[in-house]
Structure formats: C-alpha cells, structure tokens
Structure 1
Amino acid sequence: MTELIPAPAVLVAAADSWSRELLGQLVLNVRCDADVQYVGDGPQAIEALRQQPFALALVEQELPLADGLDVLRAARQMRRGEAFILISSRADAASVRAALPLAPTAYLIKPFNAENLRQRLQKLLLVPGQEVVCDLPSMNPQTSLQDFLRTARDSTDGAPLMDGVELAARRCLNAEECVLADLENEFGRDPQITACLIAAANSAAQHVGMSCQTLAQALARLGLTQALNLALGVSLQRAAQLDEPLLKQSAEQFWDLSQRCADSAQTLALALGADAPRCYTAGLLHCLGELALLRSLQDWCNGGGELDEDEIEGCLRELGAGFGSALRARWRLPLELRELIAAAYGVSAGVFSREALILNLAASAVRMPQEQRGELLESKAARMLGLKSAQRRLLEAL
C-alpha cells in the first residue's frame, strides 16, 4: 500500500445514497480531514481513480454500468497500490475467488458490521498513536443568519438525535442476540432515526413492492444489521447532538411535543379503527422541520455565530415549516406519509382520510391546555369523523 498522505483522499462508490453517506461518515469519524469523493456508478469510480491517487477506495460490488470488480480490476491496472475494500452481497466461494487475484485489501460481505469497519479504517488511515483534530468550519463574517438558513434548508442533514442513540446502535451491533423488536424499542421515539430508516428503506436500491411508512416496516425491509449501520452513521454526522443549551432546551420541547402527538394519534386511531402505526409515525415526524432548523442553528453557532432566545423563537416560527417540507421532499418520504404529516398543521377544503383527520385532532390537542380541549369537539376534523360519545370523551382526555 502506498504511504498515506497527511489528509488522505478516499473514494466512496455505492449506488444508494444512504450507503454512500454511511461509508463517508465512517471515514470522516476516523479522519475528519479526509477528502471524501462520492460516486454512484462504476464508470464514475474508474474515472475518479484515473484522475488522482487515493489512499483508500471503498467500493460496493453492486454498482450500475460497471460493477465493483471492474473498478478493482481498473485500479490494479493503474498500479498505484491504494487500499481497496470491496463490499459485496455475494458470499459464495466463486465470487470470493474471482476477487482474490486482484488483491483487495478486504472483501466484506453485506450486511457488514459498521463498527468493525470503522476499526479497520483506523488501521488503514491512521498510524499508531496518531491523532487528527479538525477545526469546525468557520463562516464568512458577512453572512447573515437568514442567508445561512436559506442555504441550510436545502442541504440539512435533518434533526438532532435524542441522547443515547449512538450508544444503542453500538451496543446492538455488538450484542450476541438482538432482534428487530429491540430496535423498534430503541429508536421508535427518535424522529430523526425513524425518518432516516423509512427514507433508506424506500430508496431506489431497496424499493420493492409497497412503500414503507412506519419504522417497523422499514426495519423489516432493511434488516437488523443494515438498520443498525445506518443508525450509527447518522449518529456520527456533524451536529447530530446539540451543544448549545438554548437549542437543546428547545429541541427537548419539540421531542416531547412529537411524542405526545404520536401517542395521541395512535390512541385515537385505535379507538376509531384507523391505521394506528401510520398515525403514530406521522405524529412523531410532524416536528421534523423545527428540529432540523435547530440543528442548523447549532452549525451556525459552531461557525462562530451568536443567538439569543428571541432569535431562536423567530426562526422557528418563520422557517420551521419550510425546513420540514424541504427535508421530507429531499428524502423522498412516501407521498402518503407526507400528506398525513401535513394534516397535523391543518385541513381545509377537500376529501380527507380518517388518519389525516386524526392527525389534525391529535396535533391540535397536544398544543392546547387540557381544559380547552372540549373546543376540539366542534372542529371540522371532529365533525367529519362523527365521533361517538366515548370517542369524544377520549379526545377531551388526551
């Protein structure tokens, strides 16, 4: 292997954007100074290798147009000797034998253990005893908060994580026995992980049959290890945890609001014979925009910006909904789920499903004092649902 340069260039090639993000985050967790280049097909990977030397190439075998084995073959023909990790879903002996003459540094079988790969990357990208410290990115002092947030809205990584998600992912990855039900319990109250796993399960590389609209459906499609890998990758992103006390305090309020809305929507759905898991999911995700905005404000602070409580409240009031709409669209969450989330903010003219009316009632209930919840019985959503006496009492008690 060639000697590693101080700030190594690393090529990540994977067809699925969520897989690329995971691999890139594992690299950056080990070497925050790495120059990571991302490509989505075989010819792009081969061209990138021709353009410059890389310290490491992380390449999935299942690439469009030219597969990972073709990329490995091209890399070896260039005789640069970079480390090359081939990641494949093919575990049969013939596939492994086909790769061995090309001397990959490692041949990993999907689903691989992300924590084990991270430790392998440490050996490849760091010399013993070496530590790499990276300064947080600074901002142009001329950039206004509004300009910063307008840019952040279209590129945000989503919401911050509730405490304990990274530890839970590492613990489950290393546990001898862990089942999907354990993951649903660990991650089912975190809006970011729930949204990310649903989005990943509906990505082009995973999509088969009906769309996934709940965490349980996403976990079943992704499988135990891949879901854990993605959760760990999300937890390693910059600003995944909030440091500023005012921002964390505000996030805790939105986490609480999300959970109460999810629980209330689920309770109403069960009472009305509606789709309770979908209602729970939509309730949990309906504050995703406000939470994503708080994470962007953490980036603002990390870059040297300052905030006070009034500015935070103003940004949330004016921009939170826009952050949520942009994020749900960019992640391509199922349209039916997006429409259900939107119902939490209002219903106007048109035909609405029972689930949408339930979301509207649940979101309204958790935002008003309990003594005023009787007013919801006269709302448009309640009238359209035709609540019976027991259901009306339930709504007042939410």
Structure 2
Amino acid sequence: MRVLILEDDAWIADLLKQIVHSLRPTARISCAGRVDEALSEWQRAPVDLVICDWNLPDGPGTQLLEQIRKQDSQIPLVMITGRADRNSVLEVRPLHISAFISKPFQMPKVLDCLDRLLPSVDLDAPAEHAPSSSFAEFLASRANDELDIPLQPGTLAKLKALGQQPADLRQLLGLGRDEPAITARLLAAANSAQYSSGGALCLSLPQALQTLGAATSLNIALGLSLNPVAELEDAELSLQAQAQYEQIQALCRRLAELAQQCRLDPAPLHSAALLHRMGELCVLQQAQLWRNSGQELDLEALDKSLRGSSSELAVRLKMHWRLPNSLRELIGACYALPTINTKREAIVMHLAASELSPQQDGAKLARLRRLAGLS
C-alpha cells in the first residue's frame, strides 16, 4: 500500500504521515512539498491514496489531481483546504474528490476519514527487516525521525480528551508546561521555517503556543498520541523513567528559585531543564519498542545503553527537532560550561545541576555562585 502526501507544511505533512501509519502500519508513504515533486513521485509508481493541499509554492495542488484523474478514475483523492465556499467546491467537482479536510483540521475526523478511504488490507506490505542482534545495534540503526521521548503516565488520556473539544491555549499550557515531550514538539514546530516569522526565537511553551495558535498546537501535540509507544507500559521501564522525571522536576524547581534570585527570565531555563534528560527518555522509549517486538533486554544491558547511548541520541533529537542553539547551549550547560563567552543563564543552569549532583564539590559550587552574582 502506497500513499502520496502533497503538503508544503512539514509539520502538517509529518502529522498526516503519523495518522496514516497509525491506521495502516505497513503503508509506504511519500511526502512532497511541491506539485512538480509530487507529479514525479506519482509517475514513478502508482499509489492507493493521495492527500493533497490546495495551495502550494509552485501552484495549486489541483494540478496534481487533474493529472491523476486522467489516468485513474478510482483512486481516492483527499483535498486539504482552508476554503469552504461553494465556488471552490464546484471548481474541483470534476475531479471527484473523495473527501475534504478543512484547515485547521480536527484529528478524530481525519482519522475516521482516512480509515474509510484507505484499503483495509495491505496486500503489498514490505517484508520485515531482519531483527537487530542486540539492543545497542537496534539503537544505532534507528533513523532520526524514528526517535522520540514518551509522555508521562496519565498524559496520553488527558491529551486525547483535549482532542475531543475545541482547542484551548490555557488547557494546552496546563498539560504541556511540565511535559518534556509536548514542550519539545511544540518548540520545534514554532521555531521551524513554516511558523517562525524570522523574529525572536521561541524558547518556552507559552511562546510556542502563541506562535502556533491553539488549533495547530493541539494537532501537533495530538501527533504524540499516535506513537506506538506514546507512554511506557513495561513496569521496569516506567520505574526508570519516573526517576528521570523526578530529576527533571527537581532541576526545574531549583532553577525557578535561582532565576528569581538572579532576576533572570525563568522560561528558557525551565525549557532546558525539561529537555536535559531527553537522551535517557529516548533510550527508554526505544527499549519499550524492543521489548514489544519480543526481544529480551535485561537491566544490565539497559543500564549500559542509558550510560553509553543517551548523549548521542540527545544530539540526534536536537538536530531532528532543530532546537535553537541558545536552547541547546542551556541544555548542555547542565553537564558542562562553555569555555568562552559563558552567559549568566548557562552559569545558573550549571549551578542548579551541580547542586543536585550526588557528588557535590563545595569549592566549585562557591565559584559558580560568585560567577552567577549570588555570593
């Protein structure tokens, strides 16, 4: 089963891709951001469903649908549009559009729509890859877009409940303020070329919500619920994750205190604290996938991966999410200070992390407090 998505908004395209994969896990999906790219992909191989935006950088998406209808009168065509007027619908009536998805769309309706239009059985499912010989090999083989971090226990149900009602910025803020997965996803989207106006960077969840708007923010957050491992189910892995979340919250609390004492904006520090354990959380989510596939993973091997692979996975996530450099520097300051041009915010991050370290160095803490202006 093959699906073609023509959408120039990378975050919406990724969300649609996640929706299709949640409905048909073996579907092969091609994404294009321009009409000419989509036409080339269509000519290369036939597909079973086309999802197409109306307005693209190089012309209307109807150009693709017209070419498809000349060759195939049966393939389902789904049009994404912000137009709801009668003339627009009549304009594309000859194309026999199977369904219209109005922007901003509601995920439950999109799920129901695509479930009805996608073939129920994938007769052309790709053969499964040979399993990795070890968990470490599995981690190394994962593509960047296959990496993520899990939601905290209970967040998934709350997120799905939000998806059943009109988007509300205050509710999203309340749910995502202390949730690393939601904060990371929305910060990444808000700082992307699709939504950033080229002005100030978004370094906090409130800024990201204002940049994206309620409906888009909710849709992007709901994309997390489509992850095969949105929350950890294994008791051992959940316990390991809880220890990570406790360290995150402890750092957030201490940074709030230090930011007030230093008269610094606490919001970027809070974001960095939420994400400073992303590598460890990613390892745990991948461990859940590994165990779900029937593979064995003892605690010794898991601990080895947490110590040996977390840093690399964190770097890959930062690159994939394209987090702003200033936020990356704050996250990195939890572990080590830059040798040159060290900003006060980074010093405060390192001070808070050092204060919470099991191996405290009194002389180092005193020096950091002086550098932060707290002596």
User: Does the TM-score normalized on the shorter chain lie above 0.5?
Assistant: yes
Aligned to 1:342: 332
TM-score (ref. length: structure 1)? 0.85
In structure 2, the CA distance between the partners of 1:348 and 1:99, relative to structure 1 (3 Å rule), is same
Q: What are the residue-to-residue correspondences of 1:381-396 with 2, within 5 Å?
A: 381-388=368-375
Secondary structure of the residue that 2:208 maps to in structure 1?
Answer: helix
Aligned to 2:224: 234
- Which of residues 190, 195, 199 is equivalent to 2:188? 199
In structure 2, the CA distance between the partners of 1:138 and 1:105, relative to structure 1 (3 Å rule), is closer
Aligned to 1:143: 133
Q: Does residue 30 of structure 1 match 2:17?
A: no
Aligned to 1:3: none
Secondary structure of the residue that 1:367 maps to in structure 2?
Answer: coil
- Measured after TM superposition, the shift of residue 101 of structure 1 is 3.5
In structure 2, the CA distance between the partners of 1:241 and 1:277, relative to structure 1 (3 Å rule), is same
Show CA shifts across 1:169-213 (max 9, x none).
33223225x521210111121111110111111222112122211
Secondary structure of the residue that 2:31 maps to in structure 1?
Answer: strand
Secondary structure of the residue that 1:363 maps to in structure 2?
Answer: helix
- Measured after TM superposition, the shift of residue 237 of structure 1 is 1.4
Q: Does residue 362 of structure 1 match 2:355?
A: no
Q: Which amino acid aligns with 1:265?
A: L
Show CA shifts across 1:290-343 (max 9, x none).
111211222222333221222211111112111111210121111111111111
> Could you tell me whether the CA contact under 8 Å between 1:173 and 1:225 is conserved in 2?
no
Q: Which amino acid aligns with 2:74?
A: G
Q: Which amino acid aligns with 1:242?
A: L
Aligned to 2:169: 180
Deviates more, 1:25-34 or 1:287-296: 25-34
Secondary structure of the residue that 1:111 maps to in structure 2?
Answer: coil
Runs of 5+ unmatched residues, structure 1: 1-7, 389-398
User: Equivalents in 1 of 2:18, 2:351: separation in Å?
Assistant: 39
Aligned to 1:4: none
Deviates more, 1:145-154 or 1:275-284: 145-154
Aligned to 2:269: 279
User: Equivalents in 2 of 1:101, 1:273: separation in Å?
Assistant: 63
User: Equivalents in 2 of 1:234, 1:82: separation in Å?
Assistant: 29
Secondary structure of the residue that 1:211 maps to in structure 2?
Answer: coil
In structure 2, the CA distance between the partners of 1:77 and 1:32, relative to structure 1 (3 Å rule), is same
TM-score (ref. length: structure 2)? 0.90
User: Equivalents in 2 of 1:158, 1:319: separation in Å?
Assistant: 14
> Could you tell me whether the CA contact under 8 Å between 2:262 and 2:373 is conserved in 1?
no
Q: Which amino acid aligns with 1:13?
A: L
In structure 2, the CA distance between the partners of 1:92 and 1:354, relative to structure 1 (3 Å rule), is farther
User: Equivalents in 2 of 1:169, 1:106: separation in Å?
Assistant: 26
Aligned to 1:11: 4
Deviates more, 1:265-274 or 1:240-249: 240-249
User: Equivalents in 2 of 1:326, 1:315: separation in Å?
Assistant: 15
User: Equivalents in 2 of 1:376, 1:248: separation in Å?
Assistant: 34
Query: Aligned residue pairs: how many?
Result: 371
User: Equivalents in 1 of 2:100, 2:145: separation in Å?
Assistant: 33
What percent identity do the matched residue pairs reach? 32
Deviates more, 1:117-126 or 1:320-329: 117-126
- Measured after TM superposition, the shift of residue 375 of structure 1 is 6.1
- Which of residues 75, 79, 85 is equivalent to 2:78? 85
Secondary structure of the residue that 2:114 maps to in structure 1?
Answer: helix
Q: Which amino acid aligns with 1:324?
A: A
In structure 2, the CA distance between the partners of 1:141 and 1:67, relative to structure 1 (3 Å rule), is same
Q: Which amino acid aligns with 2:4?
A: L
Secondary structure of the residue that 1:386 maps to in structure 2?
Answer: coil
In structure 2, the CA distance between the partners of 1:162 and 1:305, relative to structure 1 (3 Å rule), is same
- Measured after TM superposition, the shift of residue 138 of structure 1 is 6.6
User: Equivalents in 2 of 1:93, 1:355: separation in Å?
Assistant: 54
Aligned to 1:393: none
Aligned to 2:57: 64
Q: What are the residue-to-residue correspondences of 1:316-327 with 2, within 5 Å?
A: 316-327=306-317
> Could you tell me whether the CA contact under 8 Å between 2:35 and 2:58 is conserved in 1?
yes
Aligned to 1:268: 258
User: Equivalents in 2 of 1:79, 1:180: separation in Å?
Assistant: 43
The alignment's C-alpha RMSD in Å is: 2.5
Deviates more, 1:212-221 or 1:46-55: 46-55
Runs of 5+ unmatched residues, structure 2: none
Q: Does residue 300 of structure 1 match 2:290?
A: yes
Show CA shifts across 1:136-189 (max 9, x none).
x9763562333222223745421111123332233223225x521210111121
> Could you tell me whether the CA contact under 8 Å between 2:53 and 2:61 is conserved in 1?
yes
- Measured after TM superposition, the shift of residue 14 of structure 1 is 1.8
In structure 2, the CA distance between the partners of 1:327 and 1:57, relative to structure 1 (3 Å rule), is same
Secondary structure of the residue that 2:55 maps to in structure 1?
Answer: coil
Q: Does residue 249 of structure 1 match 2:232?
A: no
- Measured after TM superposition, the shift of residue 18 of structure 1 is 2.0
Secondary structure of the residue that 2:57 maps to in structure 1?
Answer: coil
Aligned to 1:54: 47
User: Equivalents in 2 of 1:90, 1:267: separation in Å?
Assistant: 49
User: Equivalents in 2 of 1:229, 1:95: separation in Å?
Assistant: 25
User: Equivalents in 1 of 2:109, 2:132: separation in Å?
Assistant: 43
Q: Which amino acid aligns with 1:140?
A: A
Show CA shifts across 1:251-300 (max 9, x none).
11111211221222122112211111111111111111111121122222
Deviates more, 1:89-98 or 1:14-23: 89-98
Q: Which amino acid aligns with 1:305?
A: Q
Aligned to 2:281: 291
Aligned to 1:109: 102
